[in-house]
Structure 1
Amino acid sequence: MNRLLQGDVGSGKTVIAALAAMVAVGSGWQATLMAPTEILARQHYERLSPWLEPLGVRVGWLAGSLGAAAKRRVKQAVAAGEVDVLIGTHALIEDSVVFPRLALAIVDEQHRFGVAQRLALRGEGRFLPHQLMMTATPIPRTLAMTFYADLDVSVIDELPPGRQPVTTKLIADSRRDQVVENVGRWVAEGRQAYWVCPLVEESEALDLQNAIDTREQLQAALPQVRTGLVHGRLSAAEKDEVMAAFKAGEIDLLVATTVIEVGVDVPNASLMVIEHAERFGLSQLHQLRGRVGRGTAQSLCVLLYRHPPGAIARERLATMRQTQDGFEIARRDLELRGPGELLGARQSGAMLLRFADLGRDAPLVDIAHALSERLLEARPDVVEAHLDRWLRRRERFLDA
């Protein structure tokens, strides 16, 4: 299996991942789940452990923040077959992590990993494990592979009962003071909010709002609001402490960088403000917007942009206002950025096909699939020669 599971934030992808892992474990094999950030990976571990351990499944945890001795114990347990499901971050793809019976590799937030990282998780063993990739917004290369390569797709097209669509507004940064006032009113009604900045601290090269200065400005403008700060330079323990306080309602307004893009689930947080939205990609904007709208209250996403935005930035912002469908957003991202290489590691850019065009020639793909099946049955020797000429032993890229 090489399958992409696409579903908007909060649609239930984690439940499907747990069921798939249970199928592998129930057959006597191992499964692993890799997430791009420790916040998200830990959330998966804390959510899946209570589900799986009562069923006799041994769940392990591996991340960069673990001490050397703890990492060694986990790796030894995995190699000895004493861990059935291993959950973690990029630490899972270190050479010292050896799975004797890996049957399923699950990659969450697939768009956050490079091609080589996804291939490394599947390993070089004799048995190639099944792969399940999960995302709300597939990267352009992955979307192209759903047309041209052996990548199957499953789509979750519904949200849990009671969820409401998130309203998205585009506001020029000249009205920033007005947005700050509205955040104060929003919080005064008992709700929580995020304020996302593109930088951690001031940069001489980039004239952009940074999280540290923004928090100070918001504290001065809204002294009655309890404000927190989280970014990638904090230690794992510090990030966990801030996120726990926000989830417990001890912080009203969380100023952050894109470290909160994935893995943050606070149902009472119903307002998202993204500063310099014109500098973010479509998948990032969609993921950040997905941090709100997780409860039953009406939620709002404000995209603050510097006027006037460039032509491509204008297209991205317009897309965010027009749709909340992750697959449609990915399709437009494909149009804007190109699909990259199917037989290489580039995940966006021109496809370098001499004649074919992904958008124009999509109807031909089904015909080509049918003809390839007939050719495999009738002339496998011709197929082998064709693959050798065009792929030149780069087939593994089609598995990532």
Structure 2
Amino acid sequence: MATAPRKRAAGRGTREQPAGDAAAPAARKTPAKKAAGKAAEKAAGQTAAEAAPKAPPANSAAGKLAKLGLRRPEDFLLHLPLRFEDETTVTPIADLAPGEHQQVEGVITDSEVKYKPRRQLVLALRDDAGDSIGLRFLNFYGSQVQAWGIGTRIRARGEVRGGFWGCEMVHPGMKRVGEDAALPTTLTPVYPTSAGVPQGLIRKGVDRALMHYADSGQPDYLPDAWRERLKLPTLAASLRLLHHPSAEVSAGSLEGRTHPAWQRIKFDELLAQQLSLKRAVAARRIKNAPRLIDLAGRESLTAQLIARLPFKLTGAQARVWREIAADLAQPYPMHRLLQGDVGSGKTIVAALACLHAIDNGFQAALMSPTEILAEQHFRKIADLIEPLGVPVAWLTGSLKTRAKREAQAAVASGAARLVIGTHALIQEKVEFERLGLAVIDEQHRFGVGQRLELRTKSAQATGMEPHILAMSATPIPRTLAMTYYADLDVSVIDEMPPGRTPIVTKVFAMEKKDEVIERVRQWASSGQVYWVVPLVEESEMLELQNALDAHAQLSEELAPIPVGLVHGRLTPAEKQAVMDEFVAGRLRVLVATTVIEVGVDVPAASLMVIEHAERFGLAQLHQLRGRVGRGAAESACVLLYASPLSPTAKERLKVMRETTDGFEIARRDLQLRGPGEFLGSRQSGLALLRFADLEEDQAWVAAAQDCATDLLAHDPHAVQECLRWWMGGREHYLKA
């Protein structure tokens, strides 16, 4: 068995450098592995070929559009405009109003490239009434100079500016027209795009898709009964209006996305998401998993552990454990998310779940995103369960070759009943004898592919999928739980263990840093202190003091108080040596980067100082603050900020000062960042909502849930069509 890390005091486990998909090790595929992989893909309902169709050449028009996700007609139809330009009217030059976006038409009477004060193309445009306006371009090509020669009739649209020589437009939109060219009858859409993909190319693709959809005669996938009940227009009418609205349509209803056509799009997006999640739940229910039941006739390992604990489980911990045990007894895989604020005691619940699997003759695995957090779990859990005769293996990428081979052999033979480690657990060489439960800590920090890989480990060996318990100390707001996590059963530890002291949070400007250092000197005489900085080395762009400089400054100003340093550039052994010294109390102050964000449990540490707190997100600040307040001593968190503060940074610091409630902080964080930044697409495995807003459109979420339940029961064709439109083959990610 692998050599365990040197024992020390037990640790407690609780977007940035998450262990994402890119971090997964490259695997050499054996024939057996390839066969198992294909079987897993087929079970997921999608082959590799379907998931990754042959891409067009990158430099072709199709290749450029594909980079925007525009491949199928449905992709173009759902690529909705950011805004619209009104090209339905032409304003006489004499009637132009400075500050307004307006369109003029006329003939170019002068074209000159000037070089003062900088190179620019200046055109003079005269309309049929004889009035003129200047058109100025600071960036242009030689071909444009030729195309916009004297005598060319054009329409130009842009913001009108007043000037000493009369009105002008800078970089207006230009279009060559004939003398009697008709004006558009609808607003001109402006689409989301990227460099090298012109609006015209997207507009042609959208118009072809609209024509194809109209000619195909496809019925609306949303049944008439639901449309009428929700008072929504047809999909065809909604798409036509949103891509080509008439000038009479309220601009406010389009920009604010309140028009009924927008409401239809928002509802359909939420409906597709709910259908996908509910299908994922249904698909899981028909898969096989080991039934892990309470064993009669002898005292179980879980009962022995509870009896040996030096504390009593809180009511919330006991309730959550009952919920998990009930799931483990089912013949299909558990997918449960265990939420709990920092320090709420999730680790002991995870240990009970692992012992329950071991009691039933299966193995358990616990995977953490960082080595520091994985080792904290190893030390704490091994101290708890090894006295019960349960062998625990330790497996990370930093192990030496011999130790790694020994650990892998122990896991493969079943000698190791519980294995704890990092993403090294999903390497190809790691094979389990009988994996019954996989616990994924801080699951949002793993890529979807990595979570899928861990699930296949058991299926390859036993033909059964393991139960999955995901843990997170970042509470998920209710609106997100109803959408992105609707396929998971959620347990919440909403009660803190007794003896936890409240944490007082103070906010100071960097000008008061000397006063804070003096306070640290006083504090270190009776307690221990974390001093957190955000960078390891200098960044000219951010101008943040690095960890090395902070350590040097504090060592000098706090002498003879011993000050330690830990950061991501240290080797695992070096990090552990420093942490051992801090846990033992020989280091009174620890300068650290965010490597100590999660998992570190030092009860004597009661003061947290976070330098340049304005550079951290709310979730990170809350996690860091959770490193203190773990003992009986008075605890405090000091947030040092550099001026000037952005409005968002001000709000973050205000939230931290006002509350220590992780769920309230998560709710406010969602408001500040939106679901895209809160989750991250790699973490959620789903395209994030493009159109619906979880705060504004909460009523549509509930309606989509009801509609999805009805369609799944009574209209499988509607389900299939809705998912074909919206998901585009991404449903397999929901299996993670």
Same fold (TM over 0.5): yes
Alignment of 1:68-83 (within 5 A): 68-83=401-416
Matched position secondary structure for 2:695: helix
Q: Does residue 328 of the first structure (1) align with residue 661 of the second (2)? A: no
Closer, same or farther in 2 for the Cα pair 1:349/1:292, shift >3 Å? Answer: farther
Provide the C-alpha distance between the structure 2 equivalents of 1:40 and 1:270, rounded to a whole number of angstroms: 20
1:232-285: CA deviation from partner (whole Å, max 9, x where unpaired): 111212111111111111111111111111121111110000000111111111
Q: Does residue 300 of the first structure (1) align with residue 633 of the second (2)? A: no
Q: What corresponds to 1:252 in structure 2?
A: 588
1:42-89: CA deviation from partner (whole Å, max 9, x where unpaired): 121122123333444332110122111221222233233333221101
Partner AA of 2:524 in structure 1 = V
Maintained 8 Å contact 1:345/1:397? no
Identical columns (%)? 59
Q: What corresponds to 1:51 in structure 2?
A: 384
Q: What corresponds to 2:361 in structure 1?
A: 28
Alignment of 1:371-386 (within 5 A): 371-380=707-716, 382-386=718-722
Q: Does residue 14 of the first structure (1) align with residue 347 of the second (2)? A: yes
Alignment of 1:1-400 (within 5 A): 1-123=334-456, 125=459, 127-138=464-475, 144-148=480-484, 149-188=486-525, 190-340=526-676, 344-345=681-682, 351-354=688-691, 356-380=692-716, 382-400=718-736
1:266-315: CA deviation from partner (whole Å, max 9, x where unpaired): 11110000000111111111111011000011110001010121122112
Deviates more, 1:366-375 or 1:321-330: 366-375
Provide the C-alpha distance between the structure 1 equivalents of 2:724 and 2:427, rounded to a whole number of angstroms: 31
Maintained 8 Å contact 2:448/2:685? no
Partner AA of 2:406 in structure 1 = R
**TM-score scaled by structure 2?**
0.51
Maintained 8 Å contact 2:444/2:683? no
Provide the C-alpha distance between the structure 2 equivalents of 1:346 and 1:242, rounded to a whole number of angstroms: 31
Provide the C-alpha distance between the structure 1 equivalents of 2:651 and 2:447, rounded to a whole number of angstroms: 25
Partner AA of 2:727 in structure 1 = L
Q: What corresponds to 2:26 in structure 1?
A: none
Maintained 8 Å contact 2:365/2:437? yes
Closer, same or farther in 2 for the Cα pair 1:347/1:234, shift >3 Å? Answer: same
Closer, same or farther in 2 for the Cα pair 1:208/1:395, shift >3 Å? Answer: same
Query: Which of structures 1 and 2 has the bigger CA Rg?
Result: 2
Shift of 1:195: 0.4
Deviates more, 1:115-124 or 1:204-213: 115-124
| Greater RCO (CA < 8 Å, at least 6 residues apart) | 1
Partner AA of 2:522 in structure 1 = R
Q: What corresponds to 2:153 in structure 1?
A: none
Maintained 8 Å contact 2:534/2:593? yes
Provide the C-alpha distance between the structure 1 equivalents of 2:356 and 2:363, rounded to a whole number of angstroms: 10
RMSD: 2.7
1:198-241: CA deviation from partner (whole Å, max 9, x where unpaired): 11233344310111111111122121321111111112121111
Provide the C-alpha distance between the structure 2 equivalents of 1:56 and 1:372, rounded to a whole number of angstroms: 48
Shift of 1:390: 3.4
Closer, same or farther in 2 for the Cα pair 1:258/1:18, shift >3 Å? Answer: same
Provide the C-alpha distance between the structure 1 equivalents of 2:673 and 2:446, rounded to a whole number of angstroms: 17
Deviates more, 1:284-293 or 1:60-69: 60-69
Provide the C-alpha distance between the structure 1 equivalents of 2:447 and 2:597, rounded to a whole number of angstroms: 17
Partner AA of 1:44 in structure 2 = H
Maintained 8 Å contact 2:479/2:695? no
Closer, same or farther in 2 for the Cα pair 1:98/1:250, shift >3 Å? Answer: same
Partner AA of 1:101 in structure 2 = R
Provide the C-alpha distance between the structure 2 equivalents of 1:23 and 1:369, rounded to a whole number of angstroms: 34
**TM-score scaled by structure 1?**
0.90
Matched position secondary structure for 1:291: coil
Maintained 8 Å contact 1:2/1:131? yes
Partner AA of 2:360 in structure 1 = S
* Moved >6 Å (runs of 4+): none
Closer, same or farther in 2 for the Cα pair 1:178/1:78, shift >3 Å? Answer: same
Matched position secondary structure for 1:239: helix
Partner AA of 1:165 in structure 2 = P
Provide the C-alpha distance between the structure 1 equivalents of 2:507 and 2:464, rounded to a whole number of angstroms: 50
| Gap regions ≥5 residues in structure 2 | 1-333
Closer, same or farther in 2 for the Cα pair 1:289/1:55, shift >3 Å? Answer: same
Maintained 8 Å contact 1:192/1:271? yes
1:134-153: CA deviation from partner (whole Å, max 9, x where unpaired): 1221478x972543431222
Maintained 8 Å contact 1:340/1:350? no
Shift of 1:339: 1.6
1:302-358: CA deviation from partner (whole Å, max 9, x where unpaired): 01010121122112211211221222222222222222399952669994433x221
Partner AA of 1:9 in structure 2 = V
Closer, same or farther in 2 for the Cα pair 1:247/1:307, shift >3 Å? Answer: same
Shift of 1:367: 4.5
